[in-house]
Amino acid sequence: MRSRFLPLLMTFLVFAALYLIAYSRFSSFGSMRVIGNLLRDNAYWGIAAVGMTFVIISGGIDLSVGSLIAFTGVFCALMIDRNGWHPLAAFAVMLLIGTSFGAIMGVFIHYFKIPAFIATLSGLFLARGMAYVLSTDSIRIDHPFYEQVSDLVYIFPDRGRFTFAAGAFLVVLVGGILLAHFTRFGRNVYALGGNPDAAHLLGVPVARTTVGVYALSSFLTTLAGIVLSLSKHSGDSTIAVGLELDVIAAVVIGGTLLTGGVGYVIGTFIAVMPLGTIQTYLTLDGSLTPWWIKIVVGVLLFAFVGLQKLLSSRHAIFGLGRRSAAASP
């Protein structure tokens, strides 16, 4: 097996092990009720994680995720509940704002050579501040469209529910896989993350790809905020604080290298599921605090970053060894 697939395999094995442990303790993990809930409960940040996967593959980072989700919810709530907009109109305007927000961050990163960490940190403060300026209260959304979306449910024979949020998550997942592996944009993102200078020499449109990656990330983050708004029927400026760290952790645990150039959208999906499994297990158990999920995430993150470092070191050592052998007379 190629070494770059090893983190992906390890993520899958961790997910399988956690799920089997949970199933041995609670038989309900074998039902569609738990699987449906896993997809529904993790849909919004899973959608944002797909966008973050593209950013990290390109060698960047996006810290504005949580704040943009909060701003999206508050903006939609205000426009729908206070100003009487139809939800579809509010969603369309918010998607345009969110995508433009990401594109502007990409412009600053590429043309002004501002590190992605700083540019998106500014985006974090800006989006959270804008959300607080709009409202510091949680705004309830009462609109027939929200009720219609809530009724879009497929009910399995064991009463498991496949909701709109779960469907949106899977659609974004499939779209992300196709975009990453079967389009020129996806190949450009991998080339940009692998070596920006080489990508430029090979004719990759570095500027357009960089701006496009951050625009895509913010588009999916805004979509995640809309999905969360539809699930909770509200907008709250205090929600999703620190969510960007969970999203980054899921992407790394899913086998994407923080150095860029290597990563998998499907790996991010597999990584989101163990975290949701732990959350569901803690809820069913009732004797452990939710902070255990943070401890598990920390341990997994250490393990996977260490594994990535080990694999990259082996690659460098073996690559140097092969070059030395080839240069020898």
pTM (2 decimals)?
A: 0.88
Compute CA distances 222 → 102, 146, 202, 298, whole Å: 10, 17, 33, 27
Question: Mind giving me the DSSP string for 249-263?
Answer: HHHHHTT--TTSS--
Contacts (Cβ under 8 Å, ≥6 apart) of 76? 87, 90, 91, 94, 141, 225, 226, 229, 235
pLDDT in tens, the chain (329 residues): 556 677 778 778 878 888 888 888 888 888 888 888 888 888 998 999 999 999 999 999 999 999 999 999 999 999 998 899 999 999 999 999 999 999 999 999 999 999 999 999 999 999 999 999 999 888 999 999 999 998 888 888 888 889 999 999 999 999 999 999 999 999 999 999 988 888 888 888 999 999 999 999 999 999 999 999 999 999 999 998 989 998 998 898 888 888 888 888 998 998 888 777 877 877 777 766 767 777 777 787 777 777 766 766 655 544 444 444 444 44
User: What gap in Å lies between CA 42 and CA 29, rounded to an integer?
Assistant: 16
Helices 43-57 + 164-182 axis angle, to 10: 10
